[in-house]
Amino acid sequence: MSQSLSGFAQGAPNELNESSTHRLILGFGLFLCHNKLDQLLYELISSNNNGSDCCYWERYVSLTHCFMTSSTGIMKVMCSYLWETKLMNKPSPIYVDDSPPPPAPFEHRIVSVKQTEVTTCYSVCRHEVLGGGRFGQVHKCTEMSTGLNLAAKIIKVKGAKEREEVKNEINIMNQLNHVNLIQLYDAFEGKNNLTLIMEYVDGGELFDRITDENYHLTELDAVLFTRQICEGVRYIHQQYILHLDLKPENILCINHTGNQIKIIDFGLARRYKPREKLKVNFGTPEFLAPEVVNYDFVSFPTDMWSVGVITYMLLSGLSPFLGETDAETMNYIVNCNWDFDAEAFEQLSEEAKDFISKLLVKEKRYLLLLLTLRTLAFSRLSAELRKRDLIIVFLILIWQ
């Protein structure tokens, strides 16, 4: 952080630059000032084991202001000068938190369904609803023996077929152990429902970020979200599983401000066996791939179509295929009838649009991505992030 004496002397007030003596005094004073701050910062950062540039900068500014208001003599003068000329109006550097989300607060486990009421082991907060859908509701709960906060997904079932579908969800989750995928902790079977006890996160749905007018999603945010979605989907596909219901409502944020996510809801997920052609006729209309609408064979690219729709929404706040009715929406999908909204995409990079364009096509989605090899390398990213993202996308494609 320390600079040369001549560097500090540059930009000094005119009255202090009238002689080489004044320049030397100014430069030397700033040199001492910087060195003192550096020393204190080094101690702070070392003690906190946090050496990020963002924290370093914030502490630097904070300590400079502290010295300016509490010191005396040359330290006060130099800190005042440093504050007024170099720090006060300088924007903080952009800090990109691209760290993975934290793992679940428990080891991955193979869960067997218990034939007993969930309330024998867990205190379920019925009044605290975390989410809901066609299946039922998700409530916050606490394990009585440990005090661990978890989420209870209570699924209403009417017959044997519905029970088997829930047990299929449990079996699939037993196979999935990744930080970008919600983890299963326990399961219970009652007379009219099955309850899945899962990892608890409280950042809300990604859908809320997209629709919240007070939250401004940048292209960089979209990159970070999309990359983590791709990492989770890559892992799912490596286990030869298709999610088949990827949408912003099924992606949870770890907290209300960061960009870390976990994919949830494997109720419609299916095991993929290449020799056994799979067809499905379910999902959320505006996120369905053309092969689902046409009741054709589905595969790994089916999930990637949904990733393309989600990315479009993250970048623009708009849904590319949404019509007035479900029938109109599905007609847009089968005809691949979409475009980039001129106003929403005006300031976005060509790389971002190129990524979406290689996913929202009827065929060869993986091949088109592989040929461009610019995927996820949106122009706002550093070279290191771009390199990592290309590797991730290549891994997604490699087994196709």
Identify whether residues 303 and 253 lie together within a single domain. yes
Residues 264 and 200: beta-carbon distance below 8 Å: no
Best CA proximity match to 256, nearest among 217, 205, 314: 205
State yes or no: pLDDT of 206 exceeds 60. Answer: yes
Residues 367 and 360: beta-carbon distance below 8 Å: no
Identify whether residues 165 and 280 lie together within a single domain. no
Annotate 215-258 with DSSP letters as a single string: S---HHHHHHHHHHHHHHHHHHHHTTEE-----GGGEEESSSSS
Catalytic residue among 221, 245, 303, 389: 245
Identify whether residues 252 and 368 lie together within a single domain. yes
Identify whether residues 122 and 220 lie together within a single domain. no
Report the C-alpha gap between 84 and 342 in whole angstroms. Answer: 42
DSSP tag of 273: B
Identify whether residues 262 and 377 lie together within a single domain. yes
Q: What is the CATH number of the domain that holds 348?
A: 1.10.510.10
> Is residue 94 included in any domain, yes or no?
no
> Is residue 141 included in any domain, yes or no?
yes
- Domain end, chosen from 199, 233, 249, is at 199
Active site residue 354: no
Report the C-alpha gap between 311 and 316 in whole angstroms. Answer: 9
Identify the pLDDT of residue 22.
44
Report the C-alpha gap between 225 and 341 in whole angstroms. Answer: 21
Residues 99 and 174: beta-carbon distance below 8 Å: no
Identify whether residues 369 and 264 lie together within a single domain. yes
Report the C-alpha gap between 376 and 304 in whole angstroms. Answer: 13
Among 119-123, 252-256, 273-277, 362-366, name the one with the lowest average pLDDT. Answer: 362-366
Q: Render pLDDT for 125-171 as a digit per residue (tens, 0 to 9).
A: 988 889 887 778 999 999 999 999 999 999 999 889 999 999 999 99
> Is residue 154 included in any domain, yes or no?
yes
Identify the pLDDT of residue 193.
93
State the total domains in the chain. 3
What's the mean pLDDT in 82-89?
54
Identify whether residues 279 and 229 lie together within a single domain. yes
User: Coil, strand or helix: which one is 354?
Assistant: helix
Among 12-21, 55-64, 88-97, 301-310, name the one with the lowest average pLDDT. Answer: 12-21
Dihedral (C-alpha) 313, 316, 321, 326: value to the nearest 10 degrees?
70
Identify whether residues 193 and 69 lie together within a single domain. no
Domain, as residue range, for 49: 5-87
Identify whether residues 238 and 383 lie together within a single domain. yes
Report the C-alpha gap between 371 and 364 in whole angstroms. Answer: 11
Q: Render pLDDT for 19-53 as a digit per residue (tens, 0 to 9).
A: 444 444 444 444 454 455 445 444 444 444 444 44
> Is residue 99 included in any domain, yes or no?
no
Identify whether residues 215 and 186 lie together within a single domain. no
- Binding positions for ATP are 153
> Is residue 381 included in any domain, yes or no?
yes
Q: What is the CATH number of the domain that holds 136?
A: 3.30.200.20
State yes or no: pLDDT of 197 exceeds 70. Answer: yes
The DSSP bridge partners found for residue 197 are: 152, 186
What's the mean pLDDT in 382-394?
46
Identify whether residues 227 and 282 lie together within a single domain. yes
- Domain end, chosen from 158, 184, 199, is at 199
- Domain end, chosen from 168, 199, 230, is at 199
Identify whether residues 232 and 193 lie together within a single domain. no
User: Coil, strand or helix: which one is 263?
Assistant: strand
> Is residue 294 included in any domain, yes or no?
yes
Report the C-alpha gap between 362 and 349 in whole angstroms. Answer: 23
- Binding positions are 153
> Above pLDDT 90, what percent of the chain?
56
State yes or no: pLDDT of 399 exceeds 70. Answer: no
User: Coil, strand or helix: which one is 114?
Assistant: strand
> Is residue 103 included in any domain, yes or no?
no
